[in-house]
C-alpha cells in the first residue's frame, strides 16, 4: 500500500513538473513576458554603459529657480542588449512585441509572424546587438558605431566561445535596420562537422571587443537554453 502511495505521489509530482514547464503560446504573452526573454533570460542579456546622474533634491525655497533652469538633464546611461535571435523564444518575443503594438492584431498578422518564428535561420547562429536608453544622443552614438561596422573589422574581435575554449568567428554582419533588433552577427551553426552547442556544452560566451561603447563579454548557460524540449540557440 505504501509503495502504491509513493508511486502515485511520484507521478503526480512529475505531471506537475511537466505542466509547469509547458510553453505559453506567444500570442498570450504580455509585454513583460517578451521583455524578460529579450533582456534577461537564457537567450538575451543586457549590460549598462555609463551611469545615471545622482538624484539631487533642490534646497528649500529653490523651486522657482529650479523651474527657471529647465528640466533635469536626461540620464546618459544606455543598455546594450545581446540576443540569440536564431533561438525560437527570442523570435517569439519580437513577434509578441510587434503583435502587442497593434490594438487589434489581425489573424493575418499573427499568421505572418508565426511563419517567421517557424522558419528560423537554418544553419546559422545569429546574435543581434541593440541599444536603448532615455538619452537620444548617447543611444544614437552607440547605434552609429554599429552602423559603421564591416565584417572585415570583426576578425578575432567578435566571437562565440564555448566553455572548452572552442570558438566560432563571425562569417557575416548586417547593420541595423528599422526592425528594432540592431546589428546582426552571423556565425556558422556547426564546428568541425558537429553542432557547436549541445546540452553538455556547459556555457557559451558572446564576446564583442571593438570600442568602449561596443564591448561585451556575456556568458549564457547552455542547459538553460532548452525550450519546449529543444536546445534553442
Chain segment 88-127, per-residue pLDDT in tens: 999 999 999 999 998 888 999 999 999 999 999 999 999 9
What is the mean pLDDT of the segment spanning 162-182? 95
| Rg, Å, the chain Cα set | 22
Higher pLDDT, 62 or 162: 162
Chain mean pLDDT for the chain = 84
The model's confidence at residue 135, banded by pLDDT at 50, 70 and 90, is confident
Taking the CA atoms of 50, 224, 26 and 90 in sequence, report the sign of the dihedral they define: positive
Higher pLDDT, 51 or 158: 158
The grid coordinates listed for 119 are 522558419
**pLDDT for 75:** 59
What is the mean pLDDT of the segment spanning 137-143? 86
CB 126 within 8 A of CB 82: no
**pLDDT for 85:** 97
What is the mean pLDDT of the segment spanning 177-198? 95
| Residue 160 confidence (pLDDT) above 50 | yes
The grid coordinates listed for 137 are 544622443
Three-state SS annotation for 163-221: CCCCEEECCEEECCCCCCCCEEEEEECEECCEECCCCCCCEEEEEEECCCCCEEEEEEE
What is the mean pLDDT of the segment spanning 225-232? 96
Amino acid at each position: 500500500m505504501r509503495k502504491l502511495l509513493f508511486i502515485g505521489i511520484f507521478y503526480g509530482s512529475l505531471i506537475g513538473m511537466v505542466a509547469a514547464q509547458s510553453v505559453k503560446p506567444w500570442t498570450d504573452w504580455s509585454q513583460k513576458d517578451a521583455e524578460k526573454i529579450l533582456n534577461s533570460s537564457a537567450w538575451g542579456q543586457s549590460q549598462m554603459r555609463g551611469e545615471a546622474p545622482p538624484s539631487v533634491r533642490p534646497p528649500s525655497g529653490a523651486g522657482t529657480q529650479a523651474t527657471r533652469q529647465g528640466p533635469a538633464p536626461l540620464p546618459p546611461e544606455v543598455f546594450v542588449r545581446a540576443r540569440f535571435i536564431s533561438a525560437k523564444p527570442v523570435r517569439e518575443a519580437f513577434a509578441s512585441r510587434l503583435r502587442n503594438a497593434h490594438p487589434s492584431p489581425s489573424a493575418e498578422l499573427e499568421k505572418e509572424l508565426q511563419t517567421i518564428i517557424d522558419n528560423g535561420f537554418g544553419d546559422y547562429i545569429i546574435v543581434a546587438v541593440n541599444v536603448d536608453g532615455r538619452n537620444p544622443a548617447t543611444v544614437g552614438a552607440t547605434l552609429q558605431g554599429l552602423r559603421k561596422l564591416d565584417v572585415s573589422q570583426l576578425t578575432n574581435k567578435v566571437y562565440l566561445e564555448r566553455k572548452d575554449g572552442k570558438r566560432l568567428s563571425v562569417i557575416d554582419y548586417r547593420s541595423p535596420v528599422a526592425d528594432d533588433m540592431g546589428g546582426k552577427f552571423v556565425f556558422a551553426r556547426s564546428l568541425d562537422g558537429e553542432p557547436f552547442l549541445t546540452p553538455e556544452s556547459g556555457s557559451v560566451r558572446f564576446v564583442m571587443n571593438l570600442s568602449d561603447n561596443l564591448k561585451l563579454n556575456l556568458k549564457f548557460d547552455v542547459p538553460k537554453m532548452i525550450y519546449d524540449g529543444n536546445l534553442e540557440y
